[in-house]
Amino acid sequence: MKVTIVYDNTVYQKGLKSDWGFSCLVEVENTPRILFDTGSSGSILLSNMQKLNIDPISIDEVFISHPHFDHIGGLQSLLQVNNEVKVYIPISCFKPPGAREVVSIERPQQIHENVFSTGELDGIEQSMAIKTERGIIVITGCSHPRMAHILQAASQFGELYGIIGGLHGFSEFDLFKNLGLICPTHCTQHKAEIKSLYAENYVDGGAGRIILL
């Protein structure tokens, strides 16, 4: 599995642009290429993709965590370049125009052999769960639902190994004590505290960061 952070509040790779929002490319063997969220700005999204040698035409699917502007703002720009993508949205999200197919997700479900949605949690947001040899990797947009709900929903697909994405105001730090990978991005308010507690398993995010498992 390969996760490339395309859009984030900070920059990891020189030459990319930072902005308030989140997006990452998820590549799993024998699975369509999935863009998780699209950041705030279509121009920044496409610019960072170009600099990371990610062809928008190569994107097969888009997974939208929730319909806030900093996660769905770049979608229309992407669809203008590639309207053949399949878009997964939480059930409460408006259906974006211009995509080949839009799938509304309400409950936990399998999307591909090793890729799952937690379903829409707490009426606002879905997260992605990816099955790897080390366990389940959870990818979050902002973690608006309680983290306990997210982890519980993802754990039905296997033993949890790691988490990547925005954690908002999450402070129930003990919930991460058994995780082997923690990569807080975007809106996470307590990065310093999480890093101090889990330094060995902590990975800095930022646009251009690549995580391989």
pLDDT given for residue 127 in this prediction: 98
Q: Give residue-wise pLDDT tens across range 48-107.
A: 999 999 999 999 999 999 999 999 999 999 999 999 999 999 999 999 999 989 999 999
What's the pLDDT score for residue 121? Answer: 97
Which residues, at least 6 apart from 90, have a Cβ–Cβ distance to it below 8 Å?
Answer: 64, 65, 66, 67, 104, 105, 106, 120, 124, 125, 126
Res 19: pLDDT: 98
Structural domain tally of the chain? Answer: 1
Q: What is the pLDDT of residue 11?
A: 98
**Amino acid identity, position 147:** M
Q: What pLDDT, on a 0 to 100 scale, did the predictor assign at position 86?
A: 97
Distance of alpha carbon 154 from alpha carbon 157, whole angstroms: 6
CATH for 133: 3.60.15.10
Q: Give me the domain span that covers residue 72.
A: 2-212
Helix (H, G, I), strand (E, B), or coil: what is residue 29?
A: coil
Q: Which residues of the chain have a pLDDT value below 50?
A: none
Q: State the pLDDT at residue 199.
A: 97
